[in-house]
Each structure stands twice: as structure tokens, then as C-alpha cells.
Structure 1
């Protein structure tokens, strides 16, 4: 059939479709860079790159286009796979709420920070990961991706609820935030919402996926700060702590320097695993201080009217569903803070003033009105179960515009699509956890 606009469905016009391949009449669609689904086209068509040429009577073409788009939509909702983790992924759109779960959506902990979690899934496999993320996770069975327009729309509502002044949108999550696509669009939209109230947008990253181009785009989009995880400078130890043989610490250090030469503030965030990376932890601190002296930045945080710290050091803790390095010792914070105080004294003796034990006020973090929670611990409610959960024995439900995690479940597949009775176990920070009453 002769090619014309009327009998062609151009998939490149859909933002979420970032690449198209085909095998016969089977479409293999890349969705938002890091996801994939397959769609069998049951019509007489030819597929050429992003073009689907419909070889049917002109009167049937529009109905066939709608049919193909419906098949694509169905495949995205039912068969989407995360190419990084190889896990099934749920594409989150309205009317699924974005408040209630830690794996995706928005979290309000009663401060001026709104945590923005557009996805789950990580591109490294840290042996100490607090949420057992990465390709080789033993507990995570599903991933989630939130539509960018929906994420921004719901974020704006919370920012306005909080007064939209001195708000920080912090992109973090159970995974690597820079895997989100379109990341620059998300940052730009959040920045536009926050800027009139002297707010900022910040992001956590392990740096693996960062490129010069991405940093340039994020700088232009208005990103204020990147919290970059660097846990060792030694090549072997860095690979071990990232859980990837191809982890390249030299590339990460190069990226750190590139950020330092941009308008994005660089914060280096090493984590101490006592008895594992003690020496490397100190080396990373030394590196960050030297980098800050060599390439000083004058990027001010509009919330504080001061520069953010160059370092945000952390102590590795043990979590219920997290991983643990066997030889790691468990420290109390008192011991950790003493170590930091000793380090500060050592630097001061050299004429270097560095603050390692930070306070939320160093970033302008302060208490702010919190979203009300519609539930109380101990009460029983009815919940519509809409999808499978993040871990085994969990499903996800909806009630009163909140996501409700339902744990301790058996035969999860049988619960999906049903309305069940649950008892609320937790409501802190609007993270809603429940268990079936029967």
C-alpha cells in the first residue's frame, strides 16, 4: 500500500516510547529508556522503524490505529519489564494514589522536604543495601514507575499544601533516581514549582549512569544539588562495595569533578561500614575536602543563603529487608560521632575547617505542616487490592486516596482485584502498612 499520513501510525510521536524494534508483526518497545514490553499486532501491517504501515481499507485504518494503541497500553500495564533488574514493572498513573508506599510516589515526613520517588530498581548491587535492591535482589519481586506528568501534578498539590515556600524536592528512593526518564523534564517541572518560594530540587545518585550530557541537562533544568555516593577510592574495594565488577571509580571521580565545575552543588556522601571500609571511608573524606579546595563552588542554597556542605557522611545500619556484609561490625551513633569529632580535630590542626556531623538546619530543613492521615493504627478498613507488592507476601491496595501496603498475605494473585478487610499496623509519615483481618 502507498505510504501516506492516514495509513501510518508513527510511534515516535509518543514520548514514553523511546525505541522501537520488531520481529515480524511483534513490536518490541522500549519505554522510558529502561523498560521494555512486547506487543503482537494482529493486523495486516508493515513495521518500518517507528512507523506502523496499515495495509487495510482506508475506512478501517482509524479503528485499527486505536486497536494497536489499546494493545500497546495493555502490554505496558500488564507486561512491562525493567531492563536493569529484569523485574515486572507497574506503570503508575491516575487514579492510583502516590501517597502510602516507600517504593514509589511522594513522601511527606512533616518537614519542608518532599521525597520524590519516580521509580524503584537499581543499577548496582551494594552488599550492604538497606532495601536489598539491584538485579540480584532476593526479596524484591516487582518494580514501579510513576508517570512524569502525574508525579509533577501530585507533587504540586503537596507543595501548595505546605505553603510552597522553602520547599526541597528530593529525588531518592529504593533504587537509582537517575534511571528515571525523562529526568531533566521532571527536575525542570519541580524546579518551576519551587523557585517562586525559594525552593530547590536535589537528587541522590551512585553516579554510574551520570554523563556530562546528563549533568548539563540537569544544570539547565535547575537542579541544585547532587548527593553523590562514593564509598572507596581503591579500585578493588569500590567494585566490592558497588557489587559490580565493571564499576569504574575513576569514571565516578571524573563525574564528581565535572559536577564541581557546574552550577550544581556537589555533596559527596560516603558510608562507613565498620571493619570493612574504615581506611577508604577516611580517604573519601580527604578526597572531598581536597576537591573542594581545588575547585571551590559558590552555589548558594536559597533556603539558607549559604553553601551546602561538601560532605554528608553516613553510618551503615542494619534493616529488616536489607543486606549485610558479614564482617561488618555494628556501631552505635555515639561511637560514629566521636570518630567524626576526631577527624574534625585532625583537619583543624592542619588549618582546615570542616563539619562532618551535620544537622538538618545545615540544609535548611525544618518542620512543616504534614499531610493528614485518614487512618489510625489498629482500625480495620476495606481496601481495593489493585496490584502485586514489592516483596513476597505483600499486595498493594487503595483506600481513601492512599496506597495501603498489605503484608502477611498468602496466595497474593488471588487477592488482586478484590476488596478485602485489613487491620492498620502503621501510619507514620503516611506510610500505610496493614495485614488481612482473616
Structure 2
């Protein structure tokens, strides 16, 4: 798809990033240090942290308390849920997801990293690359997070030795490259002391790279609209029926990818009907073009049937519709996902009935080996699934679009989110078994 969008519109001042690492590697302390040293902490917040730290007999403020907000987290000294923090520097705005380190909270890391453009993976310099480090690197690779930072923490506890840092960086980079992580930047830090977090370290003159904050401020974040296929999931049909606009019919939603312009030929999926964009309303005003992630109302030349859940796409870039979805998924619910499981599949603004027809493989993240045809996925498992939907879905490959190439599976009984899926993403899987049938009305 060609684009004439001005270059300035392709840049963003917002970076979404996530932190990950093993228990006690210092993720929350690093986040607290970033907030504190970048002066993004309110005075009353810092005073509260100082009071709690003093009551525990600590001489200095425990900056991890700035992110560990749940009572259970503070009492146990661990991170349980994803903690989102918003801060800004003169160069860029940030949305940060501080994710848990425990193996049983792997699903939380998937949630936090699913929208991230960068992942900061912490390693304790004393322990090096461990099982959970490899697990988090594999998840970042599966989620196609474009940038990875290896933060080798607690360098003060190993005497700031360059050889320790170099060995860990080499081992991790080799593993991440094998996974297909496109870019790794290794930084030696001490989150507790503040070395190379916001300010350069005076103890590691052998390191000439950026600090963590400097890298976060300068890493290129690609939102090149010229390489995105435009997608608008319809959220609402607007029919004001006023005397001023008696025939107004608009289709409102947030643009998931790309750019729409007045005059563009578009197709509405899954019906396949074609028309042209006759107008675009943004914040109540007509505009000639709109792009992701703006929320707009599209006006179409022809009076065709469009409703919530439909997808408006450029005619020349329309994805194929299918009722057979193959995907890599991370199971997030406590109840297992099994072959023959009846579910609801939510893709964009569209929700359809579906059946899990096969689970060809479960991925062992520790060594990237495959367990063929496990028959079920339990909480935190990552595996391959084949799903049959009751209605055709216009799903992009996750490799092409993280927004329109993803979906969730929902329990139709109680609305629980079961699984997060990535269409088309795959790892080497064994030969599939025959589809599992079902005798009731869900066997499509």
C-alpha cells in the first residue's frame, strides 16, 4: 500500500515497554529508580515510601515500593500483578508495564508485553542467565517485541567486573538471536545504587554505551504507516437522524493500523461488499485523512450493510476470511483448554462461537522443545491450536499486524478470558492429528 502521509506523522513520542526477569532480580527497584531519578515521582509518593522504608528499619528509601502497589506484594516483597506506570521526560513519554518474575505468573508477562515495543529483561549479575531469563526471552520473541534490553543488574555485588558482564551478555545475545529477537542491547547496571539507570556509572568506565533511560529515549519506535495495511474494526454505527443530517450514517471505531483517506476504495469484511470512503469525521470535524490510533467515523458512498464487528479495509489490501484459525496461544486461565473445548473467539470488535479442534503441540520454554499433541493446555502454557469458528473471520497474520492478528478465547459460560492467541505464529510442530469432532450445535 502506498502512502503520502507526512514524515512527521510517522514519528511518535510514546514508547510502550515492559520489564521482566526472575524473582529478586530487581525489576521493581529498577522501575522505582527510573521514576525517582527522572523526577517522575510526586512528593507525597516519595514521602510515603520513605515512611514505610524507615518503619522497616531501612536507611534508604525502598524504591520498589513505588511499583509494588498490592498489599500482598508489599507483604511478600514480590510483584504479583502487572503494574502500569506512566512517566515522561523532555524527549519522550512512556507507558511501562512492570511484570512478575514468578513462573506461575508467566501469563502476566504475556499481558504486559503484548503491546510493548521494547522489553527490559533483568539478570542478576551473580546468577547470570537462568531458566526464567530464557523463558522471558522466548515470550518476547513469540510476541514479536522488536527491541530487547538486557539489564545486567547488581553489578555492585560482583565488583563491577567487566568480564562478568561480557560473559552474561554474550550468552544471552546468542540465545535471543537463536529465538529470532531482532535487536539486543546489553547494559550493566545497579538499580539500587543508580549506576547506568539514569546517570552514567562512575564505577564502570569500561562501559561506553547508553544508560537505560538514554536508550529508552532514543531507541527508534517504528510506526511507519506506509508499511501498514489500514484496518478499522467497526465499534458502533452512528445514526443521529437529525433535521440537519437526516441521512447521516457513520461507522465509528479506532483505526487499528494504517491510514484511511477520503476517496479510498474499501471492502467491508466478512461480507466482502465494496465501496469508497466519502468522508471522515475526527472529533466532530471532517478531515481528509486519519491514521492509527485515532478514533474516527467513516462515511461510505454506498448504503451497504455494516454493523459492529465488521472490519473496513482497503480493497487492494483485504485479508482473506477463514473459519479455520491456526495460532500460537498462551493459556491464561486456571481451567485447562482441551481439544473439543467450546469457546467464544473475540477478534477486534467481533465475537463468534468456536471449537478447539486440535492442540498439535505445547512448547517447553526452558529448552524450546515440543511436546506433541498434549490434548490440553494449562495455565501459563504456550502451544499451537487449531480452531474452527462458526463465522468467517478476516484475520491478519500476527507477523503483519499485532493488533488485527491477535485474539482471545473466552469461556461462554462465565465470560472468563481463557487464552491469548497470535494468528499464524508458529514454531516447528509435529504432524497434526485428525480434527476432533463434536456432536452438538457447536461443531461447525
Taking structure 1 as the reference length, the TM-score comes to 0.26
Taking structure 2 as the reference length, the TM-score comes to 0.26
More strand per residue: 2
Flag the structure with more relative contact order, 1 or 2, with Cα contacts below 8 A and sequence separation at least 6: 1
More helix per residue: 1
